[in-house]
Structure 1
Amino acid sequence: MRSIGEMARSSGLSVSALRFYDGAGVLVPARVDPVNGYRWYGPEQLDEARLLAHLRRAGMPLADIRLVLAGWSSTETELVRRLLRTHLRRLERDLSDARGELSTVRALLDHRENPMATHHVATVRLTVGAPELAAALDAVRFAASTDPELPMLGGVLFDVEGESLHAVATDRYRMAVAQARGTSAGALGARVVVPSSLADAMRALLSDGGSVRLGVDGNQVTLEAGARQAAGPCLDHDFPDYRRLVRLPAGTRALVDVAAFRKAVETGPVRTAEAPEPGAGRCDLSVLKMAGDGTVAVRAEGDDDSDCVAVNRDFLLQALAAGARDELILEFGAPTAPVAIRRTDTEESFSILMPVRLDT
């Protein structure tokens, strides 16, 4: 184990930078001493810290770095390579220095062989209630990417483990996870990425209630609802290791009345900033702050921004709608850490929104 000082000397990141990336949930220490708060890092985290140093010197956004680190140990590096190419196209200044840093990362990727988020399929049969599966798809579909440069994110991950199905979607700037339980037959698990169009066709079959049968056979996925069926091939790409992406430092939670909070967001003040999505122009931001009494306020221009977090307003409204509850829990960490929107009845269904830097 390395102390934070040893990790700083070995990785090229400063101590303050390591503290920042801990608070942002990007590089969390393997252990924090509960008595003195000292941070300790595992041996495998040194390579991640060095990779992080290269990517930050190249100016890569934190949202993309999360995905790079999540896929760092994968034998399938397409997502990482596409992220690097997309970032290069966005750079307008200091391109020569950035190319040098990213070339170093590519060379490191070529020597990595240990899989982390391996795309794997098997023959699986899962019987699940139509309302449960419909709720899971509704909770995550809004977060699926439409970016043609990142086709592996253009669908919904179906991660079947035993009798549990996790549905996951992300476009790098938000992520949603939901769970449905059923009864299984066949192999113990499979992980496939269902194209968004096929996921929508499946959702259309789930309006009649009762039970449906989900089947995964090789690269083919099928949903049977009575005599009706939606079937097709899965995306031939790996999905990032979502379990790592949602390991966030514990934050402060606030219970919000969804209708009242939604109205406050819709009618409240907004600020504008460059949208993180390439070519998206500017976007409206809601700047949120949790008060001492546990309420969440939308801050106006000119208010004190300390301990505030800014998120894309449209993304926030979509996450509230996808939560489909009268009350939801908002969890805030550091201003640089994602905001989590959680249900009150389960920890297995939630969404997270990446913060957006305010213009200065």
Structure 2
Amino acid sequence: MPHEELMPIGAFAERSGLTSSALRFYADSGLLPPARVDPGSGYRYYGAGQVGRAVMLRRLRELAMPLASVEAVLDSGGDEASRILDAHVAKVVQDAATVRRKAAAVKSVLGRVPRHPLTVVRGPVLADAVEQVLTASAHGTGIPALTGLRIEVSSEELTLTGTDRYRLSTRTLVPAEPPARTWDGTVDGQELRAAAAASRRSPTVRLEAVPDGLWFRMADGDDRHCRSVPGAFPDHRLLLASLGEVTTRATVSKDVLLRAVEEHPGERVGFRFGREGLYVLPTDDEEPESPVRATVTGRALRVWFEVTTLHPAVSTAIGPDVLLDLRGHDQPVTVRSADRGDLTTLAMPVSPPADLNEENGS
């Protein structure tokens, strides 16, 4: 490389955002050796073509990535580099959750955090309920409350509710012991998912309220802390109370309905409910309707759903059969277990695809 294309370490540091001392360190570690070292003075010179690698190196180190992983990312292709980055981020998140949990435990031991016993529930039952209701929570939204679950402890029951505004799921549990006090709050969904995994291994879980959330006290001592999340949770009780009259009802096997949804080729799936049964609507005029074994009563109706909304609402239902309570093509549909009503999910219909925008009816 001609001498005039090189830049001294100070100029290269300014262009790359790395300090001169950091550049010397990365040169000695072999990550970013200079293009030329003056044999007499020892001055280091870098080429313009090294700026990109230097900037990427700086960005990776800002992610607290170890040198070995940085080198692997810099020297690998796009897919492998992405895999390494994802693995690093996952580890950082896991480590942060562990540190947060241990810090909360230390504060609890120090006696500086007031604790209020709430109730005791069966661990496996609580784990199932959390996983079922969490499917209705939001992901990647700017509204923190929608990424968590609303937990309410009354004098007789424990209720979990999640919603992403297109779906709402709620389940009520009967505690193993009468609740000691009432409580309500919205807790972090990711931390609650981790607590649920631990709850599954514990015969019972004792819930304790603290100023910043809930403690899940396990029988084996593997306690978990779930933080409260900010923001107002939607008034789901008002929504449930204001639902219109059910005009169409269908009883259908959960597995049969899921298979029909999974085999549908589009992002939206439509159904025709009629006295003769339930049919999956075709995606074009050439295809016939596909029958689904079901018992249907009430008014004939056509309804469309986003697959990503309907599938989790049905898959989390308890038992082999589900009840679909419908109120119109543009009203929330209630998905309930045919034999157990303590888990209820609402799913919002959508408009049919543009090329199938037909009148709803029989």
Determine the structure 2 residue equivalent to 1:329: 323
Determine the structure 1 residue equivalent to 2:135: 142
> Quick one: distance in 1 between partners of 2:281 and 2:164?
26
Determine the structure 2 residue equivalent to 1:228: 222
Would the aligned equivalents of 1:130 and 1:206 in 2 still touch at CA under 8 Å? yes
Q: Does 1:166 align with 2:166?
A: no
Would the aligned equivalents of 2:118 and 2:153 in 1 still touch at CA under 8 Å? no
> Quick one: distance in 1 between partners of 2:205 and 2:223?
10
> Quick one: distance in 1 between partners of 2:125 and 2:153?
14
Alpha-carbon shift at residue 335 of structure 1 (Å): 0.5
1:32-181 equivalent positions in 2, closer than 5 A: 123-181=116-174
Determine the structure 1 residue equivalent to 2:46: none
**For 1:246, what is the secondary structure of its paired residue?**
helix
Amino acid at match of 1:139: Q
Q: Give ranges in structure 2 of 5+ residues lacking alignment.
A: 1-114, 290-299, 358-362
1:286 aligns with one of 269, 273, 280: 269
Amino acid at match of 2:268: L
1:260-300 deviation per Cα after TM superposition (whole angstroms, max 9, x unaligned): 12112222353xxxxxxxxxxxxx1111121204x322111
| 1:263 to 1:232, Cα distance in 2 relative to 1, 3 A | closer
TM-score (norm: length of structure 2):
0.58
Alpha-carbon shift at residue 185 of structure 1 (Å): 4.3
2:278 aligns with one of 283, 293, 296: 296
> Quick one: distance in 2 between partners of 1:254 and 1:215?
41
Determine the structure 2 residue equivalent to 1:102: none
Alpha-carbon shift at residue 205 of structure 1 (Å): 0.9
Amino acid at match of 1:170: T
Would the aligned equivalents of 1:157 and 1:191 in 2 still touch at CA under 8 Å? yes
Would the aligned equivalents of 1:311 and 1:356 in 2 still touch at CA under 8 Å? yes
Would the aligned equivalents of 1:144 and 1:153 in 2 still touch at CA under 8 Å? yes
Amino acid at match of 1:149: G
1:140-289 equivalent positions in 2, closer than 5 A: 140-182=133-175, 183-187=177-181, 189-226=182-219, 227-247=221-241, 248-251=243-246, 252-268=248-264, 270=266, 284-289=267-272
| 1:205 to 1:163, Cα distance in 2 relative to 1, 3 A | farther
Would the aligned equivalents of 2:173 and 2:342 in 1 still touch at CA under 8 Å? no
Amino acid at match of 1:321: S
> Quick one: distance in 2 between partners of 1:198 and 1:268?
34
Alpha-carbon shift at residue 167 of structure 1 (Å): 0.5
1:85-127 deviation per Cα after TM superposition (whole angstroms, max 9, x unaligned): xxxxxxxxxxxxxxxxxxxxxxxxxxxxxxxxxxxxx944110
Q: Does 1:312 align with 2:295?
A: no
> Quick one: distance in 2 between partners of 1:157 and 1:350?
14
| 1:145 to 1:180, Cα distance in 2 relative to 1, 3 A | same
2:338 aligns with one of 341, 344, 347: 344
Amino acid at match of 2:264: G
> Quick one: distance in 2 between partners of 1:349 and 1:185?
20
1:170-222 deviation per Cα after TM superposition (whole angstroms, max 9, x unaligned): 111111111111123432x1111110111111111122251111111333201
Structure with larger Rg = 2
Amino acid at match of 1:285: R
> Quick one: distance in 2 between partners of 1:185 and 1:316?
34
> Quick one: distance in 2 between partners of 1:261 and 1:223?
36
Structure of higher RCO (CA pairs closer than 8 Å, 6+ residues apart): 1
Would the aligned equivalents of 1:269 and 1:299 in 2 still touch at CA under 8 Å? no
May I ask how many residue pairs the two structures share in their alignment?
A: 224
Would the aligned equivalents of 1:158 and 1:166 in 2 still touch at CA under 8 Å? yes
